[in-house]
Every structure is written in C-alpha cells, then in structure tokens.
C-alpha cells in the first residue's frame, strides 16, 4: 500500500470522521487550540479508551495531529491540510450556535482552568475505583 491516499480514500476517511457527534465535539473543541487527552475525556465524559478511538479516527482522516509531552498526549487540528481547512470552516459555520457545542465551550473553559496534570491523575484514580 502506498503512503499517500487516493482522493476518494481521503474523502471517505473525512466523512467517517464526521459521522459521529463525539468526533464533531472534539473537532469543535480543538478550534481554539490544543487539548490534552484528559481534557477531552473530561469534556466528553467518556471512557479514555473510547476517546482514544475517536482521536485515532480523526488522526487517520488527517484532521488532527498529536504530540507527546512526558506522559501526556496533546491534540491539535491539522490546519495545514487542504482538506481540513474547508471542513473546519463549514463545521464552525454550521455548529457554532448548536446547544451542545455551546455547552461544551462553557465546560471547556472550566476544564482549561484546571491543572491538566492533576486532572489526568484524578481520572486515573477515579477509573481505579470504578474497576473495584
């Protein structure tokens, strides 16, 4: 298999990425900058493994990129992609006034005021208790 996707494959990957409300919420939350996986997990209130799967689909579609810093992984929109820019412009125009996106924006402000390291550690502790 070649390193580069065909136009059809790239379009299909983007369509797949956009076909889930949680992935749309992730994309909209990343429009103002990078987020740690724990911040995305907190916003979505989903299991970390579920969030990771959503992020993998977005990454395979070429819409986000990740960077690892110590134990934490941060995600950002891939803004230099010729496909991502028009899609994100369309999403912003279509979803900015959506009630879920508005609620996420308010929640994200609260989450961003917290220390990401403490948030990640808190999630790990909570998950450990849930498994008991």
pLDDT (tens, 9 = 90+) of the chain, 132 residues, equals 445 567 888 889 899 999 999 999 999 999 989 999 999 999 999 999 999 999 999 999 999 999 999 888 999 998 777 778 899 999 999 999 999 999 999 999 999 998 877 777 777 665 544 444
- The dihedral sign for the CA sequence 83, 88, 90, 94: positive
* Residue 93: inside a domain: yes
CATH number at residue 53: 1.10.10.10
Chain centroid to Cα 18, Å, comes to: 12
Q: Range of 30's domain? A: 7-130
pTM above threshold 0.95: no
* Residue 2: inside a domain: no
* Residue 1: inside a domain: no
* Residue 36: inside a domain: yes
C-alpha 57/C-alpha 16 separation (Å) is 8
C-alpha 82/C-alpha 33 separation (Å) is 19
* Residue 14: inside a domain: yes
In sequence order, the β-bridge partners of residue 64 are 77
* Residue 113: inside a domain: yes
C-alpha 121/C-alpha 101 separation (Å) is 26
Q: How many structural domains is the chain composed of?
A: 1
């Amino acid at each position: 298999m070649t390193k580069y996707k065909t136009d059809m494959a790239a379009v299909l990957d983007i369509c797949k990425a956009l076909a889930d409300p949680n992935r749309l919420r992730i994309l909209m939350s990343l429009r103002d900058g990078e987020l740690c996986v724990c911040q995305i997990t907190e916003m979505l209130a989903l299991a970390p493994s579920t969030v990771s799967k959503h992020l993998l689909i977005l990454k395979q579609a070429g819409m986000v990129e990740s960077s690892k810093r110590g134990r934490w992984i941060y995600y950002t929109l891939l803004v230099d992609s010729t496909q991502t820019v028009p899609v994100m412009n369309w999403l912003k125009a279509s979803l900015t006034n959506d009630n879920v996106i508005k609620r996420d924006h308010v929640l994200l402000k609260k989450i961003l005021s917290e220390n990401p390291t403490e948030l990640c550690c808190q999630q790990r502790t909570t998950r450990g208790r849930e498994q008991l």
